[in-house]
Amino acid sequence: MSRFFKLTLGFIVLIGAAALLNGCQHKPASGLISVKLQTDWYPQPEHGGFYMALLKGYYKDAGLDVQILPGSPYITGEQLVSVGSVQFAMGSSDRMIEAVAGGQPLLAVGATMQHDPQAVMVHAESPVHNFADLNGHAISVRPPATWFEYIVKRFGLKDVREVPATYSVANFIKDPEYIQQIFVTSEPFYVKKAGIPLRTLLISETGYDPYRVFFTSRDYAKSHPDVVAKFVLASIRGWHDYLQDPKSANDLIRKLNPAMDPELMQFSYEALRDGHFIDGSAPAGTIGAQLGQFDPQRWAAMSRQLTELKLVDKPIDPSTVYTMKFLSK
């Protein structure tokens, strides 16, 4: 599945994808600057804009030789960027704030998604119709799950149990009382294909609304601002094109990750597009206006929420966690 493959299959995919990427892109053309992007999971439509920028030559035109590295449940982008193993990685604004508060020298430079597609999935006949109804139930959660701590406090949940994620929808299909964390761009596809009616509750609708971001280290941004600027703008251009027509990028993603179901990829793309997760709720006639962009008020709100949850030891200035200077030409 897009985000919750069985782990053994995932390792096979990771090895195959890495081999193909190494063969295609480890040898930079003369004069190009080598850059590595660590993704947050195996190749999937949620990474489509980066692959589109690669395919269309936007990185090369900017003087960059970009290598896109597949993620896995055991790869932490924050650590790899912090030690300089890669120049860029994917993450989320809440994790960025926690990481920087913990001493990691990271800097978010663009938004991959304006809103996070994480949600809670329940059966259609479930008595759970909102987050307050989760009291008395168990939820399959993938750690780290800051959102879970938020909803427990926000809705005063005194009797809600967190159980480990299984990276599968098998338990959900078998058990009509099962509740699990999902991406609305992924797991519902398999459940619907199995003929199981479902409902989803978007976590972003609770007021906990992190960005999905791509980031670098503060040192790299300071010492190579031109590279960062070129990477950011080429990536945003790739995301714009991906939203218009994903076919070529999805074809490449499937080559890198043969486990991807073409129907799932179409489902994921349509969910990303129709839910405006990537481009936000831009007014009519301004397609792509919010691609990659940040709103300082949202960063400040997220910082306050994490402080109130006591997930950071002391308040930090959120403007030290992100920058907008690379988001315009």
CA distance 277 to 280: 6
Longest dimension (CA), the chain: 61
Tokens of 219: 């040192």
CA angle 228–113–32, rounded 5-degree value: 25
CA distance 242 to 91: 20
Asked if 174 and 149 count as a contact pair (C-beta separation under 8 A), the reply is no
Q: How many CB atoms lie under 10 A from the CB of residue 20?
A: 16
Architecture, CATH, for domain 7-114+210-320: 3-Layer(aba) Sandwich (3.40)
Fold of 118-206: D-Maltodextrin-Binding Protein; domain 2 (3.40.190)
- Predicted confidence band of residue 307 (pLDDT cuts 50, 70, 90): very high
Nearest Cα neighbor of 82 from 64, 101, 100 is 100
- Predicted confidence band of residue 74 (pLDDT cuts 50, 70, 90): confident
Which amino acid makes up residue 262? P
Per-residue burial over 250-276, b = 16 or more CB atoms within 10 Å of its CB, e = otherwise: bebbbebbebbeeebbebbbebbbeee
Q: How many CB atoms lie under 10 A from the CB of residue 101?
A: 19
Of 210-214, 259-263, 288-292, 317-321, the least confident? 288-292
Query: By three-state DSSP, how is residue 325 classified?
Result: coil
* pLDDT of res. 36: 98
Q: How many CB atoms lie under 10 A from the CB of residue 44?
A: 29
Place of tokens 């792509």: 288
- Give the start-to-end residue ranges of the domains of the chain: 7-114+210-320, 118-206
Higher per-residue confidence, 166 vs 222: 222
Nearest Cα neighbor of 109 from 212, 228, 239 is 228
- Say whether pLDDT at 5 is over 80: no
Q: How many CB atoms lie under 10 A from the CB of residue 320?
A: 14
CA distance 35 to 278: 23
- Predicted confidence band of residue 16 (pLDDT cuts 50, 70, 90): very low
The residues, ordered by sequence, that sit 6+ positions from 103 with a Cβ below 8 Å of its Cβ are none
CA distances from 131 to 122, 152, 166, 192, 202 (A): 11, 9, 22, 22, 10
The residues facing 33 across adjacent strands are 64
Domains 7-114+210-320 and 118-206 share a fold: yes
CA distance 72 to 153: 30
* pLDDT of res. 23: 37
3-state helix, strand, coil in the chain (%, to 5): 45, 15, 40
Report for 72-81, 216-225, 282-291: range of highest mean pLDDT: 216-225
Asked if 272 and 3 count as a contact pair (C-beta separation under 8 A), the reply is no
- Mean pLDDT computed over every residue of the chain: 90
Asked if 134 and 128 count as a contact pair (C-beta separation under 8 A), the reply is yes
The residues, ordered by sequence, that sit 6+ positions from 143 with a Cβ below 8 Å of its Cβ are 164, 165
